[in-house]
């Protein structure tokens, strides 16, 4: 791996940690103290958080793609690439398709954790779309595109980091989002 490839790997790891730690801490603080809601009002507090979270999440996505490009072709010599690329392409389609379907099912506000910002639970936890089949389709199936991109890029560093990234978001879900959903919706 080149020094630039290593820098891209480290940058994406830092980006994913920023995503899960910053978003997680802000959401936990908001639930506990209502910091953004008190400082900016319910709607503006949410919008302020959403803008920053979107920037962090987009940076995370772009950093992963850049890492795949900069570590492209690092499979061991002699490894057949076509089967991995085909499986990878399928994982990209399934993962991104699931993420988009889940986002459509919950709406833009819930996608950005709106119910942490003073809005009382209206109705129940999501049950439509892919939520009929999976408890958390966005984080479980919806992150398969990470491994898929790594396979398409024939990049062993990207594959390793995709597993780290997937695990990090599952830890975020377990520590931040699931407890909140249980408290708010009873599921």
Q: Which domain holds residue 142?
A: 3-185
pTM over 0.85: yes
The closest of 178, 166, 150 to 67, measured between CA atoms, is 150
Token pair recorded at residue 118:
């003073």
| Overall domain count for the chain | 1
How many other C-beta atoms lie within 10 A of the C-beta of residue 88? 24
Whole-number pLDDT of residue 186? 76
The closest of 120, 118, 110 to 34, measured between CA atoms, is 118
The closest of 56, 55, 70 to 10, measured between CA atoms, is 70
Residue-level pLDDT, tens digit, the chain, 187 residues: 899 999 999 999 999 999 999 999 999 999 999 999 999 988 899 999 999 999 999 999 999 999 999 999 998 878 889 999 999 999 999 999 999 999 998 888 888 998 888 765 555 666 678 888 888 888 989 999 999 999 999 999 999 999 999 999 999 999 999 999 888 877 7
Give the number of residues written for the chain: 187
Match 């990470």 to its residue by tokens.
Answer: 146
Residues 15 and 56: their CA atoms lie apart, in Å, by 8
Residues 153 and 77: their CA atoms lie apart, in Å, by 14
Whole-number pLDDT of residue 52? 96
Whole-number pLDDT of residue 119? 62
Whole-number pLDDT of residue 19? 96
Match 């991995």 to its residue by tokens.
Answer: 84
């Amino acid at each position: 791996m080149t020094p630039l490839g290593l820098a891209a790997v480290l940058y994406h790891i830092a980006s994913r940690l920023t995503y899960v730690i910053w978003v997680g801490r802000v959401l936990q603080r908001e639930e506990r103290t209502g910091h953004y809601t008190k400082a900016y009002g319910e709607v503006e507090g949410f919008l302020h958080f959403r803008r920053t979270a979107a920037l962090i999440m987009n940076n995370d996505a772009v950093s992963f793609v850049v890492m795949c490009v900069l570590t492209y072709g690092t499979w061991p010599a002699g490894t057949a690439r076509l089967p991995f690329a085909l499986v990878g392409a399928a994982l990209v389609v399934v993962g991104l398709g699931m993420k988009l379907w889940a986002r459509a099912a919950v709406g833009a506000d819930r996608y950005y954790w709106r119910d942490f910002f003073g809005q009382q639970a209206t109705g129940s936890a999501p049950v439509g779309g892919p939520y009929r089949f999976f408890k958390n389709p966005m984080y479980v199936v919806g992150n398969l595109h990470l491994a898929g991109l790594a396979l398409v890029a024939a990049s062993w560093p990207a594959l390793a980091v995709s597993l780290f990234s997937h695990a990090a978001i599952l830890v975020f879900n377990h520590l931040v989002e699931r407890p909140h959903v249980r408290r708010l919706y009873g599921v």
